[in-house]
Amino acid sequence: MPGPSTLSNLIEFFWRDGFSRIHEIQLEHRKKYGKIFKSRFGPQLVVSIADRGLVAEVLRAEGVAPQRANMESWHEYRDMRGRSNGLISAEGEDWLNMRSVLRQLIMRPRDVAVFSDDVNEVVDDLVTRVCALRAQESDGTTVLNVNDLFFKYAMEGVASILYECRLGCLETNVPQKTQDYIGALNLMFSSFKTTMYAGAIPKWLRPIIPKPWEEFCNSWDGLFKFSMIHVDKRFSDIKAQLQRGEEVKGGLLTHLLVTREMSIEEIYANVTEMLLAGVDTVGFIFLSNGHLPTSVKLNFPLHASQTKGSGTADDGMWRRRRRFGSLEAVCQKFLRLFPVLPGNGRIIQDDLVVGGYFIPKGTQLALCHYSTSLEEENFSDALEFQPQRWVRKDASDRVDNFGSIPFGYGIRSCVGRRIAELEMHLALIRLIQKFRIEVSPVTTEVKAKTHGLLCPSAPINLRFVDREN
């Protein structure tokens, strides 16, 4: 099997900062080595799959509990601290049990629809914050560094579902505990380069270069601490209600704490991992907008007549996909051009033959989603903004293409997909109703970088101009 040498990989990633250009390296290696190639990172052998058909072959061959790759550092931290694994990091029977519980709560559109009122309250605050921020600029329309704004919206929205409370992310003065969480999250991203390929960095080097591993552990300490505070508070409130003989009502967290279908440690782990994943995913999806000609994309046939309604659970607006086919098409287009996860990892559990090569059990695979999403053979005019290719003609018209699967595929697909879509759709509908959104003239070209996920390499500045009607 072709592929770069170990030496060239070391130079590329450790000397030329390839960790921040994984998406670009995918394209380069696909062009140079073909649809399937191998790489070595220290003792790790990774086989990369950069072809739609071969990706489909691998994913369709998976068993009932597929195993993720690059999770060694997560598992080591949890073993060291005595923490449980959540749905993202768990494997095997533990993962299956957790998924069966959460599947009933957040993996079906009709279940997530009940959270639309809570998310709409967060969208209210987002719109208010946009108005406050643009009022600070001389033109009265520009919001500088929407990166920060959208991350805070994502965090507030996900937390309103997971913790059943508000964190104050969109307030003028963000509460200190919330600031501490944001700091832990930023620390997590800063340690990505070390942890993403932990297997390539021997443990014996940690005493010599201790900072990366210490920062990784400190960031997880902060994330878990934040979740435990909110879970424990809700648990205390529930016990007080029961003691008073009151009926206990609530959402996701309340259900988990009352039914005890998971242990308290598993609840801590799951809400921690889901908040982390939700903030990353929704925040980066919004920021991917900044890489496209905004005046074109956000006005692609999405006019006030198509975005009527309150977006509440009673209105059911976000669920009636056919009314908002254009909106969903635009979101799909964002995710194809800028997949939040540029690649996905698997440890294959059985011997496999892919692309004419024998790949033994236990081999780590890298599925190159960024590369496949930009292949002309998968999408004609691949770099063009054509949302209409995703619009369904009717309920029987499906647009399935393994060239672009931003939320994964099959049983190990993204557990928070419906929550992310709810936050995305409700915020976009409300923003488009109120504003015409344009790239600010003060924004220079912003390239993508890989920072665990695909994200902008610099601040994005947008103009929010009031619509006349």
Provide the annotated binding site for heme: 414
Tally of CB atoms within 10 A around 27:
16
Q: How far apart are CA 128 and CA 374, in angstroms?
A: 37
DSSP state of 445: -
Helix, strand, coil shares of the chain as percentages rounded to 5? 55, 10, 35
Residue whose pair of structure tokens reads 């424990």 in the numeric block? 232
- Which stretch of DSSP H or E encloses residue 30? helix 22-33
Dig out the tokens for 295 from the structure.
């005046």
Q: How far apart are CA 304 and CA 76, in angstroms?
A: 51
Provide the annotated binding site.
414
44-49 and 364-367 strand pairing: parallel
123 neighbors 136 (Cβ within 8 angstroms) = no
Ramachandran assignment for 225, one of left (phi > 0), alpha (psi -120 to 50 degrees), beta (any other): alpha
Taking the mean position of all CA atoms in its chain, how far away is CA 266?
Answer: 21
448-451 and 344-347 strand pairing: unpaired
DSSP track, 73-135: HHHHHHHHHTPPP-TTT--HHHHHHHHHHHHHHHSSHHHHGGGHHHHHHHHHHHHHHHHHHHH
367 neighbors 345 (Cβ within 8 angstroms) = yes
